[in-house]
Amino acid sequence: MSILVTGGTGYIGSHTVVELLEYGKDVIIIDDLSNSKIEVLDSIKEITNKTPKFYQINYLDKEKIRKVFKEHDIETVINFAGFKAVGESVAKPLMYYHNNIGGAINLLEVMQEFGVKNFIFSSSATVYGDPKVTPITEECEVGGTTNPYGTSKFMIEKILKDLYNSDNSWNICILRYFNPVGAHQSGLIGENPNGIPNNLMPYITKVANGELEILSVYGNDYSTKDGTGVRDYIHVVDLAKGHIKAMEKLEKEKSGLYIYNLGTGTGYSVLEIIENFQKVNNVKVNYKIVERRPGDIAICYTNPDKALNELEWKAEKGIEDMCRDSWNYINNNK
């Protein structure tokens, strides 16, 4: 039996593949390499001494996905594939809806054909929109997303709920990630987006290494501890381990629909991240305060209790690990 991982050469996907291989699972990756590099497979091999099977397939290509299901005995599908740039999704909504929702439906249809019912979905804290209360629990209202990327996650969650209601033999786990940062401690896999990064941590690393001149801090007039935005940053290796726990949960339960927030439960402001990064890595990060970024919210962090109680999972790594490992990866991959 194998685990099929879509988007398995991407940032969160590759870290999860490492955990799955170290756990002893057979892993099959499908990825179209639109936002990742084939060399990631060599790094995964170097870390684990194991080689996952790899197919360069776009998950919209149903015939090719069917072929993978014909060739392998698949027990669980973990879906990481998807477009994820918030700004781009505002400019190209049809592309985002077509790819993210179409791809998920394709996968689910093929799974149904082959009687494979275990599905783990990469969702996001973005489905909570601008949260009315923090910390955020899984019971908080969802919807009110502010961009097509977030709405695509919300819509797929809805599709999964409808699917489960139509057929209770499905076994589905929705994981709502907070803000993944950091990299594998080996420095061999991590996040290195092409061009100018959208997210805070990749931007900080590029300012610290001189590739970019200065970080713009988007607003210091939020009602937060120091006026800058507060987020629940989670180390990507902790996040990857959350998927192992979700997989074990599905193996145990046989059917159901489960939803978990994956975050640390601690919120850090932008200025706190900058300070920690400078201190841990002994580098300077130049920054200036600018206007708020449209669509940003003030505060977003989880109540991590449900994942702890039901999955026996909690984040182990702290802000220093996150800052150190992000920097280590960038220096290792110049």
Catalytic (active-site) positions: 149
Contact residues toward ligand UFG (CB under 6 A) are 84, 86, 124-126, 150, 179, 198-200, 203, 215-218, 229, 231, 270, 293, 296, 300
Residue whose CB is less far from ligand UFG, 96 or 164: 96
In whole angstroms, the minimum distance from the beta carbon of 147 to ligand UFG comes to 8
Q: How far is the CB of 92 from ligand UFG (least distance, A)?
A: 15
Closer of 75 and 296 to ligand UFG (Cβ): 296
Give the residue closest to ligand UFG by C-beta.
229
* d(C-alpha 59, C-alpha 62), whole Å: 7
* Closest residue by Cα to residue 234 from 280, 177, 190: 177
Residue nearer to ligand UFG on the CB measure, 118 or 145 = 145
Nearer Cβ to ligand UFG, position 32 or 232? 232
In the bound complex, what is the minimum distance in angstroms from residue 40's beta carbon to ligand UFG?
Answer: 20
Query: Closest approach of Cβ 122 to ligand UFG, in Å?
Result: 10
**Considering beta carbons, is residue 188 or 217 the nearer one to ligand UFG?**
217
Burial class (CB in 10 A: 0-12, 13-18, 19+), 102: middle
Q: Report the nearest approach of ligand UFG to the CB of residue 182 (Å).
A: 13
**Structural contact between residues 59 and 82, judged by C-beta atoms closer than 8 angstroms:** no
